[in-house]
Structure 1
Amino acid sequence: MSAKNHNPVIDYSSFPDRKILCIDMKSFYASCAAITRGLDPLTTHLAVVADLNRSGSVVLAASPALKKDFGIKTGNRLFEIPDDPRIHIVPAQMRLYLEISSEITRLFHRYVPKEAIHTYSVDESFLDVTGTERLWGSAEEVAKMIQDEMLETFHLPCAIGIGPNMLMSKLCLDLDAKKEGIAEWTYDDIKTRLWPVTPLREMWGIGSQLEKRLNRMGITTIGQLARYPLKQLEKTFGVMGNQLYYHANGVDLSELGAPIMQGQISFGKSQILLRDYHDPEEVKYVILEMCEEVAKRARTHQKAGRTISLGLSYSKDEAAGGFYRSRSIDTPTNITMELYDVCMQLFDEFYEQRTVRKISIALSNISDDVGMQMSFFEPERDKQRDLGYVMDSIRDRFGNDALLRAVSYTKAGTAKHRSKLVGGHYAE
């Protein structure tokens, strides 16, 4: 490896040096809204708003021209948009955005296999193009090909960051490529491109609250964070301190997606919450709702599973991070409360008393429900299983919100609201 060791503690030769693309569709919702109306996404002044009937409704996306000329960006409110005839204000069409996002993923698949694609969000993806040089040329060349095809096929502009790992490609995207269109960072660029970054919140994973804590420690640049004693960071921030140190040095061991085994089946649910959840009890409410949904999906296919997985992603204001852990049980299940009990074991063991923004639940190690071993000594378990199927039939007939657990009517609950939404917003 040609990478120089800019930090005497870090030996970059021992870390992955791949060609990872981080692709971001510029102002994706706004761009989709523009092209479906026959407008130029780069020059049109357009805002996508969650609810046109509420003046306090959030701006979900703003076109580049609206940001530049009027200062309106994601997170502004409807009432803040100037009354100007040049500005188009349109409602969100989440189903449309998801359909376009799926088509874009199919485009990526023409360049790399499915296991080399990681969809980070509806408008951002990672691609591992390592080893495709004979087919497409250098990473920069394949990035240009994808960028051109995106424009030709979807009329959507995109920016692409290239790096030796997911973190570096994302940082390259955010700090360079969004201005240049395509940019590449290597380990050699850490000292000159990453370390001068200030304020700290410009770095992926550092929010405003964490930035304030680091500033109070005398850390105002990424370089200062990279050179700060690792043990002191770990003492102050725990596991997060370790992550902060290595990320500031450009090190990321995240794998871009493990290969999927042939015939593997699982049922899962992942949800980005509408707000940060600070209270662990509120997080548990949502986990219960999601266990209900995952169990229903399994029952719909007359399947049951032995392995239950729980994942929590923490708020970016707390350096992001999180965990994803699994536990297997002796008897396959599709009973909601049995899934929930295992999730609570994982929650109690791995949750770090931090703010939660995303929850994932999965049921795997699947077998046919008809083969479930019902115990003569557990008649209540038989009743719970049968009750699940009865509740499913009622929901199928009258809608998902026909039967909801009491937690869904609390402030923390999301199921009642989500029954009418796609991606957290109105579908049409």
Structure 2
Amino acid sequence: MDRVIFLVDMQTFYASCEKADHPEFRNKPLIVAGDPKQRSGIVLAACPLAKSYGVSTAEPLGQALAKCPQAVICRPRMQHYIDVSIQITRILEQFTDLVEPYSIDEQFIDMTGSMHFYTSPHAAAREIQQTILNQAGIYARVGIGPNKVLAKMACDHFGKKNETGIFELNHDNLEHCLWPLPVGELFGVGHRMERHLIGMGLRKIGHLARYPLSLLRRRWGVNGELLWMTAHGIDSSPVSCGTFSGQKAVGHHMTLPYDYPDIKDIRVILLELSEEVAYRARSKNYMGCVVSVGISGSFDRHTGFHRQTRLPFATRFGMDIYRAANRLFTENWDRLPVRAASVTLSELQPADNCQLDLFGRLDEKERLSAAVDTIYRKYGRTAIFRGPSLLPSSQLRARASKIGGHYK
């Protein structure tokens, strides 16, 4: 028996949260955007009414206001959006115990075991829509399929574009509905892969589906076979409640308020990123032995790099991570201004079951870190910090009140 999988997507989630909290904005165009002075003046969400004026996600706020000057502008409240997302997860758990968050505004649910309560998958989807609207004030779209990949494409390409907000994509209508779409619309095909496929004459999803699997496998290996399977609607991955229970990496990214041209200033940022990554690793009781650094240059130059190095020991201490990150940066920086940086610790392992570094002063680092973490939890992240964070280039205090670079 085929499974019944739903992909439940919240329409313009951030904007919908604001309208749910402010009924006076219900019939007004609304945009959620950051602060242009802090280089975050980008449209994060626009309600359908604002989009009817041509406003689109990820465009500069000034450009959006030129199209829709009467729009209501709301500063993002990330913690509130996270809380609402968790609330919606709890609502979905009323319908099935198999709920898998896919993003802050999308969740997979496996309704197979609950279908005997409903006359059809569409009836179940309508009840889910109405329950979320009643309890959270947000309109949801639902894609239905026998697996996750078809449910996702059903929602993205059809459910979001019809009046009911519901669409079912299965193997009976796959060839009629999905195959005529441009190949770039296939789940898992990015811009670069789209160019490659079009260069091979595969302009539509149906062209890819009919292409010999052996030739795709020969050119791209497992990835080529995965694309062919997706075009045929084949996906055996289950809806898993524990998708995010195991972590593969701990990282932190920061877009700077202005381009940093001085290496001393950039090193302050790398130190703060390293300390943040170390704190998160300790909070989750992980250690890691691979440190990665990503650097992005000015918007108009599109420069930068991403490099990684393996440490001879696993660590979860800020200075260990910083030394590796600084070495990677110093060896690879092109001396052009930096607008964004990231530091990641990967190849994680439980901290209570790892290879010891005999000469790394592990006990001393553990005691110091435990004391610092206690201060963080009691008094906040700005109660104690390293000296370089007193410099003007520091972003520690500016970001202490934010989540994901946006105010809570």
Give the TM-score, by structure 2 length: 0.71
Partner of 2:11: 26
**1:297–1:397 distance in 2 versus 1, CA, 3 Å:** same
**1:85–1:244 distance in 2 versus 1, CA, 3 Å:** closer
**1:267–1:55 distance in 2 versus 1, CA, 3 Å:** closer
**1:172–1:142 distance in 2 versus 1, CA, 3 Å:** same
Alignment partner of 2:7: what SS? strand
Q: Quick check: 1:254 aligned with 2:237?
A: yes
Please list the CA deviations of residues 346-399 of structure 1 after superposition, one character each: whole Å capped at 9, or x if unmatched.
xxxxxxxxxxx99796967686x9xx9989x66722223223224424544664
How high is the sequence identity, in percent, across the aligned residues?
28
Alignment partner of 1:75: what SS? coil
Do the aligned residues in 2 keep the contact of 1:117 with 1:127 (CA within 8 Å)? yes
Q: Quick check: 1:37 aligned with 2:18?
A: no
The 2-side partners of 1:126 and 1:167 are apart by 10
Q: Quick check: 1:86 aligned with 2:37?
A: no
**1:361–1:335 distance in 2 versus 1, CA, 3 Å:** closer
The 2-side partners of 1:56 and 1:101 are apart by 23
Partner of 1:227: 210
1:212 deviates by 1.3
1:259 deviates by 6.0
**1:48–1:337 distance in 2 versus 1, CA, 3 Å:** closer
Partner of 1:297: 283
Q: Which amino acid aligns with 1:166?
A: K
Do the aligned residues in 1 keep the contact of 2:287 with 2:315 (CA within 8 Å)? no
Partner of 1:152: 134
Alignment partner of 1:187: what SS? coil
The 2-side partners of 1:285 and 1:250 are apart by 46
Partner of 1:403: 385
Do the aligned residues in 2 keep the contact of 1:126 with 1:166 (CA within 8 Å)? yes
Partner of 2:225: 242
1:256 deviates by 1.5
1:210 deviates by 2.0
The 2-side partners of 1:211 and 1:386 are apart by 52
Partner of 2:45: 61
Alignment partner of 1:145: what SS? helix
Do the aligned residues in 2 keep the contact of 1:56 with 1:79 (CA within 8 Å)? no
Query: Aligned match of 2:94 in 110, 118, 124?
Result: 110
The 1-side partners of 2:222 and 2:397 are apart by 35
Do the aligned residues in 1 keep the contact of 2:78 with 2:403 (CA within 8 Å)? yes
Aligned length: 353
1:201 deviates by 2.4
Q: Quick check: 1:208 aligned with 2:191?
A: yes
1:145 deviates by 0.5
Q: Quick check: 1:73 aligned with 2:56?
A: yes
1:243 deviates by 1.8
The 2-side partners of 1:339 and 1:21 are apart by 44
The 1-side partners of 2:220 and 2:273 are apart by 26
Do the aligned residues in 1 keep the contact of 2:275 with 2:317 (CA within 8 Å)? no
The 2-side partners of 1:246 and 1:405 are apart by 54
Gaps of 5+ in 2: 256-269, 292-312, 326-341
1:138 deviates by 2.9
1:224 deviates by 1.0
Q: Which amino acid aligns with 2:85?
A: S
Alignment partner of 2:365: what SS? helix
The 1-side partners of 2:38 and 2:395 are apart by 20
The 1-side partners of 2:149 and 2:254 are apart by 25
Q: Which amino acid aligns with 1:239?
A: V
Q: Which amino acid aligns with 2:12?
A: S
Please list the CA deviations of residues 306-357 of structure 1 after superposition, one character each: whole Å capped at 9, or x if unmatched.
99999xxxxxxxxxxxxxxxxxxxx9x88448997xxx9xxxxxxxxxxxx9
The 1-side partners of 2:345 and 2:226 are apart by 21
Do the aligned residues in 2 keep the contact of 1:335 with 1:388 (CA within 8 Å)? no
Residues 26-425 of structure 1 correspond to what in structure 2 (within 5 A)? 26-39=11-24, 41=26, 43-51=27-35, 53=37, 57-68=41-52, 70-80=53-63, 81-82=65-66, 86-113=70-97, 116-180=98-162, 181-198=165-182, 200-257=183-240, 291-298=277-284, 335-336=316-317, 380-393=361-374, 395-396=376-377, 399-400=380-381, 402-403=384-385, 419-425=400-406
Please list the CA deviations of residues 204-236 of structure 1 after superposition, one character each: whole Å capped at 9, or x if unmatched.
322222211211111100111112222332333
The 2-side partners of 1:136 and 1:93 are apart by 37
Partner of 2:263: none
1:54 deviates by 5.9
Gaps of 5+ in 1: 2-16, 276-283, 299-303, 311-330, 345-356
**1:61–1:258 distance in 2 versus 1, CA, 3 Å:** closer
1:169 deviates by 0.1
